[in-house]
Amino acid sequence: MSAPVLQVQALKKHFPVTQGVIWSKVLGWVKAVDGITFSVPQGETLAIVGESGCGKTTTAKLILRLEEPTEGHVLVDGQDIHTLKGGALKSYRTTVQAVFQDPWSSLSPRMRVRDIVAEPLVINGDVASDIVKARVAEALDRVGLRPQQANLYPHEFSGGQRQRIAVASALVSNPKLIILDEPVSALDVSIRAQIMNLLVDLQKQYGVSYLLIAHHLATTRYMANEVAVMYLGKIVERARTKELFKSPLHPYTKALFSAALPAHPDVVREEIVLSGEVPSPINPPSGCRFHPRCAFAMPKCAQEEPKDLDMAPGHMVACHLY
């Protein structure tokens, strides 16, 4: 394993809940991300899984520097990105790119494909126009689009091709890390495999790292080297993909896995149906945040927050059962 491209250290992001417009007072805090630590090595994929509201998108925004953290650090190549300014910040923006879920809304309908793909270069770098042109052609080629298609507009493409354009735009500045926010869930079933294979191939060829945000567990199993399970702003379990799918430890991970739909009618899963819904992150439960829904909750779980335990090399779990 090589040096980590991305290191996230005890990262926290709390949003204030306010009342009033001018003399607003803070009523409480939404603890969207509450102390998470992980790292992504070069050329690998880390997946963050969890239900809506668990903080996975806020984490992505913090890494893209679209939000400032309340506490903690995000290091890319050893540099704390939230201290960057001016030129250094611009060059940082070229090293981290993102591909979003819905290629119908993530591509501007008024721009030609070549301008969409070129944008990361034009905005962040001082790149001569003939070099831009060459790099755009190269990026389109990498994702399997023809150079003639550069002059078309997004509406002339199908969903799968649009997502290819989004990937080309993310690749053009030769980033070290690409954040994939549900990259295939808006696409048709027969197209999903095309895009997943493309992303896997590009990673093998260019050694780019991915931070994959997904709720579809099978996608995660196919694409990721390591998986982090988030619940209400915390990472409850983190392990290599094989290890995690073979022996999930945290009750929440187990419940999440048991809720996944089977791939075959004969696959019978142990049914752990979680009662209720994810509690509000404004007033998260005390102790272990999962305890009100957990089948194995003990009195201790309501009082004490569990520590991160290393159960096996690289297998972290935060639960009082272990």
Q: Which residues partner with 49 through β-bridges?
A: 214, 229
Beta bridge partners of 13: 33
CA distance 173 to 316: 34
What's the number of CA atoms in the CB half-sphere (13 Å) around residue 266?
0
CB of 170: closest distance to other proteins in angstroms?
20
Tell me 40's DSSP state. E
Q: Report the sign of the C-alpha dihedral through residues 213, 67, 318, 315, in that order.
A: positive
Asked if 217 interacts with other proteins (CB under 8 A), we say: yes
Q: Which of 60, 202, 255, 316 binds other proteins (CB under 8 A)?
A: 255
Binds other proteins (CB under 8 A): choice among 68, 126, 130, 266: 266
Q: Do 169 and 196 touch, CB atoms closer than 8 A?
A: no
Neighbouring C-alpha atoms within 13 Å toward the C-beta of 292:
13
Site for other proteins contains 261 (CB under 8 A): yes
DSSP 8-state symbol, 277: -
Q: Which stretch binds other proteins (CB under 8 A): 13-21, 78-86, 93-101, 261-269?
A: 261-269
Output the six-digit token pair for 14.
């709390």
Strands (E), 150-195: 177-181
User: How near is the Cβ of 120 to other proteins at its closest, in Å?
Assistant: 27
d(CA 183, CA 118): 20
Smallest gap from residue 156 Cβ to other proteins (A): 13
Question: Quick one: which segment of 14-22, 88-96, 252-260, 299-307 binds other proteins (CB under 8 A)?
Answer: 252-260
Q: Mask: binding to other proteins, 166-205, rule CB under 8 A, as x and -? A: ----------------------xxx-xxx-xx--------
Report strand pairing: 96-99 vs 25-41.
unpaired
> Min. distance of Cβ 215 from other proteins in angstroms?
6
Contact 227, 250 (CB under 8 A): no
Q: Where are the alpha helices (DSSP H) in 108-216?
A: 113-124, 129-142, 159-171, 189-206
How is residue 208 annotated by DSSP? -
Which position among 78, 109, 265, 313 is part of the footprint of other proteins (CB under 8 A)?
A: 265
Among 215, 240, 254, 315, binds other proteins (CB under 8 A): 215
Please report whether residue 4 would count as binding other proteins according to CB under 8 A. Answer: no
Please work out the total of residues on this chain that contact other proteins, with binding judged by CB under 8 A.
38
User: Does 305 engage in binding with other proteins (CB under 8 A)?
Assistant: no
295 binds other proteins (CB under 8 A): no
Q: Return d(Cα 132, Cα 227) in angstroms, integer.
A: 36
- Comparing CB distances to other proteins, the nearer of 92 and 257 is 257
Nearer to other proteins, 96 or 230 (CB): 230
Q: Please select the residue that binds other proteins; options are 83, 273, 307, 313, rule is CB under 8 A.
A: 273
Which of 90, 119, 222, 243 is the binder for other proteins (CB under 8 A)? 222
Nearest 5°: phi and psi at 192? -55, -45
- Interface residue list for other proteins (CB under 8 A): 51-52, 158, 160, 188-190, 192-194, 196-197, 215, 217-219, 221-222, 242, 245, 255-267, 271, 273-274, 277-278
